[in-house]
Amino acid sequence: MVTDTDHPNRSTAEAASIAVSSSDSREVAAQRWIAEHGDVLWKFALARTRSKDAAEDIVQDTVLAAMQGFASFKGGSSERTWLLGIAAHKIADHFRRVRRTKSPATPAISPDATCMCATCRGMFTEKGMWACVASKWPDMKLSETEKAEQAEALRACIDALPPGQAEAVWLRDILGIPAGEVCKAMDLTDTNLWSRTHRARVALRSCLETKFGLRKDKRR
């Protein structure tokens, strides 16, 4: 698990980087972002949207928004994480727009609620004890193809999460960005992030059980 304490010297290094960055004109800075972080932003946007057009729009909006907010970047996170945080907001906006135009027959897998959400209610009794017998998942000692298939199932489940939750879980669990940096980049408190990732992971687990064909409604 990567934690914020893994990077004790980051603040000093970033302070120097910001001092250099501040002297750049916004255009030069934006071109540098495209050169240095363009690939990462593109892969993030493409992995989430799976559309080259949408990914291009997101990277463009991210860079333009970063140019506007350049002065407000205080270096609480690395420059790359800051840009990824802006991209995460743009991706969430993209999915909100897409879902608004889609029919309501494709709901997100987890409603926006605390752990008393519908997903959890199915898992626990009223007293908060397990209601369903959890199934054993396929062993991780799988061939590369099987692993890739399961990872694609995970991706499909992440796609079905509500916007905001999906981006938070992608930054934390897929890109492995420390929680503190994700909070700063997405402008969330620790508690907000824990709540989002908790709901997302519970929902992802249920979704994967369905994908693996293991969903049981057996009561204890």
Binder to other proteins among 190, 210, 215, 216 (CB under 8 A)? 190
Euclidean distance between CA atoms 126 and 134, whole angstroms: 17
Helix H or strand E encompassing 77? none
**DSSP code of 170?**
I
Least distance from other proteins to the Cβ atom of residue 195, Å: 9
Burial letters 134-170, b for 16+ CB under 10 A, else e: eeeeeeeeeeeeeeeebeebbeebbeebbbbbbbbbb
Binder to other proteins among 18, 47, 108, 160 (CB under 8 A)? 47
Stretch 95-124 residues interacting with other proteins (CB under 8 A): 115, 120, 123-124
Q: Identity (one letter) of the amino acid at 64?
A: L
Spatial CA neighbour of 149 closest among 67, 95, 85, 213 = 213
Q: Identity (one letter) of the amino acid at 193?
A: L
Regarding 171 and contact with other proteins (CB under 8 A), the answer is no
Could you tell me the two tokens for 177? 């960005």
Using the minimum distance from each CB to other proteins, give the nearer residue, 103 or 145. 145
Regarding 184 and contact with other proteins (CB under 8 A), the answer is no
Spatial CA neighbour of 61 closest among 31, 91, 36 = 91
Regarding 172 and contact with other proteins (CB under 8 A), the answer is yes
Regarding 176 and contact with other proteins (CB under 8 A), the answer is yes
Regarding 70 and contact with other proteins (CB under 8 A), the answer is no
Regarding 38 and contact with other proteins (CB under 8 A), the answer is yes
| Residues engaged in binding other proteins (CB under 8 A) | 1, 3, 25-27, 30-31, 34, 38-39, 41-44, 46-47, 52, 56, 59-60, 63-64, 67, 115, 120, 123-124, 127-130, 133-137, 140, 147-148, 150-155, 172-176, 179, 190, 193-194, 197-198, 201-202, 204-205, 208
